[in-house]
Structure formats: structure tokens, C-alpha cells
A and B are shown apart, each in its own frame.
Chain A
Amino acid sequence: MSLLMEVLLGLSAIPPFLVIWRGPSLWDRVCGASSLTVRLALVLAAHAAFSGHGILLDVALSYAVLGFLGTVLVARFGERGER
């Protein structure tokens, strides 16, 4: 049951990959990258809770922070500047 939930959660990271791959504009890709970061952090948290490796929660929190910073960085860069 827990393995099935982890696999389903990991497979739900495929639609953001598709959006990043074929998004026509910069903002579609940034939106897909933000969503992908949240889903991968959730995969890490789920594996930490199910398998008992508590260190993975630290990795998930750091990954969420870095993903948020990257999203805001690319969005602020896209406000002015080249495409």
C-alpha cells in the first residue's frame, strides 16, 4: 500500500515534465518547474515517513527551499530582459 502510494506520487511528476518540455513560453516552463519541485519534495517526505529514514525530511525541506528560490529568480528575470 505504501509502495503503491509512492509510485503513484512519483508518476504524478510526469505532467510537469510534459509542461516543461513543450510549454510555448517561459512562464509555462516556470510553472511546470515549480509544480515539479513540490511533487518531488512530497516524494522525498513520503519515502522518509514510510521507510523510517528521517534524514530524507531534511533533504526534502532543502529541496523545497531551493525550488522556491529558483522559481522566484527566474520569474523576476523574466519581468525584464530577453526571453
Chain B
Amino acid sequence: MRIFGEILLTLGLAFLWVGGLGMVRFRSPYVRLQVAGVADIGGAALFLLGLILREGWAATGGLTIVLLLFLLFTGPLATHAVAKSAFVRKIRD
């Protein structure tokens, strides 16, 4: 179970690093929002699941699950709010 958790932690770190690279490389606000939203949610979910699997349920507790669910629910909301704000102001690519 520990090695499986470490694999998930490494996958989450890879998602976060690829998302950061995409945020720096792209120029349009919409492309940046899409890259940051998808990579952050995927990386955060994989990393927190890896933390739970590696350290065990007793060490991290249920608060890690709460943080994971909160990030899963509010990440798309924040991305949609920023994208709608840019769309209403008629920002081109």
C-alpha cells in the first residue's frame, strides 16, 4: 500500500509540474485557465489520495478527504467564474 501511495504522489507532482509549465508557456487567458484548472484538480486529487494511502488513515484523518472534496467541488466553480468574467468583458484570445 505504501509503494502504491508513492506512485500516486509522483503522478500528482508530475501533473502539477506539467500544469505549471503550461501556465507559463501559453499566452491566452482562456488557455491558461483550462490548463491550470485541469492540472490543479487532477494533481491535487492524486496527491491527496497518495498521502492517505502512504501515511494511513489514522495519521491524516478524515480532514484530508474533506480537503480533497472541497478542492474537487470549488475548483471548477472558480475556473468558471474567472472565465465568465473574461467572456463578459469581451476579452479576445
Contact = CB atoms under 8 A, between A and B. Distances in A.
Contact of A9 (B16, B36, B71, B79): B16
B63 A75 contact: no
Given A30-B82, A42-B44, A78-B85, A64 B70 contact: yes
B75 A27 contact: no
B4 to A, nearest CB: 14
B13 A12 contact: yes
B78 A72 contact: yes
The size bracket of the interface on B is 35 or more
The size bracket of the interface on A is 35 or more
Interface of A: 1, 5, 8-9, 12, 14-16, 18-19, 25, 27-28, 30-32, 34-35, 38-39, 41-42, 45-46, 48-50, 52, 54, 57-58, 60-61, 64-65, 68, 71-72, 75-76, 78-80
Interface of B: 6, 9, 13, 16-17, 19-21, 23-24, 29, 32-33, 36, 40, 43-44, 47-48, 51, 54-55, 59-61, 63-64, 66-67, 70-71, 74-75, 77-79, 81-82, 84-86, 88-89, 91
Given A30-B82, A32-B32, A57-B67, 15 more contacts: A5-B9, A9-B16, A12-B20, A31-B29, A31-B82, A32-B23, A34-B36, A45-B67, A46-B47, A49-B60, A52-B59, A68-B77, A71-B81, A76-B81, A78-B89
